[in-house]
């Protein structure tokens, strides 16, 4: 929360405003809310304010926080609300909201929040609905294929392809003849730009480092724990020993139930916002300028 200004005069003004608002809760004057100098503070406004302060737009959570505040902290929150309300009204009175992109963006965010509404969309999700959503979005939850391998690299940016090929061919014979293990790959070849050993690394990363063609060889090796190659990437030649490959997998719904529920609720909230905006947008007529 923002800290209150410590000037005595401001504290006096705010205290008076708080007292005035508190009295108004019990006997608000008819039409008083139309008065720009009248501030009406109720729990609904305070809940809204608290959610914006915490940047967590969950009414139930905000209500629990509000109910848990002690008297002093709640009074501070109410004072802060009144202070901000006074500041906003004075700024509007001075026309400071005109032609300001930052303010426009904040207003857009607030309208988006209003479209969503404080009432959460129906959170009761049946097993059938959850299963249907999961089936329709399985690609979203599919884990990437992974591979574990090491390689010996020969840089073609610092030597010709023919020279690198000669070295790689000779090194391959040495690696195979001596049955050089996975752990000793670093004793051979040139220094690679990225990693020497790739342990359970995703296919997307491997494609980025080695290219589509070499990545395909890594994920479909002729044999495991055997030196293969040379294979070419944009950086040079590689002798590769693949230890293991894990295919892409679709998890069971039971393994990621919470995540799927959260995604479905978010999709429902988005639908609520879209529907609210489309309803409001129907009131507007848009005319596009035509090119002359």
CB 229 within 8 A of CB 239: yes
| pLDDT per position as a tens digit, 164-197 | 999 999 999 999 999 999 999 989 999 998 999 9
| pLDDT per position as a tens digit, 126-157 | 889 999 999 999 988 998 899 999 999 999 98
Give the end-to-end CA distance of the chain in Å, rounded to a whole number: 54
Q: Is the pTM of this model over 0.95?
A: no
DSSP SS3 for 176? helix
Which DSSP letter does residue 227 get? E
Residue listed under structure tokens 């129906």: 122
59 pLDDT above the threshold of 60:
yes
Class of domain 143-246: alpha beta
| pLDDT per position as a tens digit, 199-257 | 999 999 999 999 999 999 999 988 899 999 899 999 999 999 999 999 998 899 999 99
CA distance 97 to 107: 10
* Range with top average pLDDT, 77-91, 178-192, 268-282: 178-192
Angle at the Cα of 124 from the Cα atoms of 118 and 127, rounded to 5 degrees: 150
What is the three-state SS of 88-154? HHHHHHCCCCCCCHHHHHHHHHHHHHHHHCCCCCCCCCCHHHHHHHHHHCHHHHCECCEEEEEEEEE
Q: Is 236 exposed, middle or buried (0-12, 13-18, 19+ CB in 10 A)?
A: buried
β-pair type (227-232, 236-246) = antiparallel
260 pLDDT above the threshold of 80:
yes
Mean pLDDT rounded to a whole number for the chain: 81
Verify cis geometry, omega within 30 degrees of 0, for the bond prior to 230: yes
CB 100 within 8 A of CB 85: no
Per domain, the residue ranges of the chain are 8-116, 143-246
């Amino acid at each position: 929360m923002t800290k209150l200004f410590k000037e005595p005069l401001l504290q006096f003004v705010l205290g008076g405003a708080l007292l005035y608002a508190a009295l108004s809760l019990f006997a608000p004057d008819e039409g008083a809310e139309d008065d720009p100098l009248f501030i009406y503070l109720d729990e609904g406004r305070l809940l809204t304010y608290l959610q914006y302060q915490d940047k967590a737009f969950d009414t139930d959570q905000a209500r629990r926080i509000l109910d848990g505040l002690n008297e002093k902290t709640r009074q501070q929150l109410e004072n802060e609300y009144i202070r901000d309300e006074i500041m906003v009204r004075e700024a509007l009175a001075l026309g400071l909201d005109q032609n300001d992109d930052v303010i426009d963006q904040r207003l857009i965010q607030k309208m988006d929040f209003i479209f969503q509404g404080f009432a959460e969309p129906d959170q009761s999700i049946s097993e059938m609905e959850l299963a249907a959503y999961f089936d329709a979005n399985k690609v979203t939850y599919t884990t990437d294929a992974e591979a574990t391998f090491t390689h010996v690299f020969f840089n073609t940016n610092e030597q010709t392809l023919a020279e690198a090929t000669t070295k790689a061919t000779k090194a391959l014979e040495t690696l195979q003849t001596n049955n050089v293990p996975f752990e000793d790959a670093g004793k051979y070849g040139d220094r690679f730009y990225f990693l020497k050993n790739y342990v359970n690394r995703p296919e997307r990363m491997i494609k980025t480092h080695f290219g589509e063609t070499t990545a395909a060889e890594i994920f479909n090796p002729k044999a495991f724990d055997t030196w293969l190659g040379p294979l070419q990437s944009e950086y040079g030649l590689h002798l590769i020993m693949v230890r293991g490959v894990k295919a892409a997998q679709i998890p069971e719904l039971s393994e990621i139930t919470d995540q799927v529920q959260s995604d479905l609720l978010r999709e429902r909230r988005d639908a609520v916002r879209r529907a609210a905006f489309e309803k409001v947008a129907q009131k507007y007529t848009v005319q596009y300028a035509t090119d002359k």
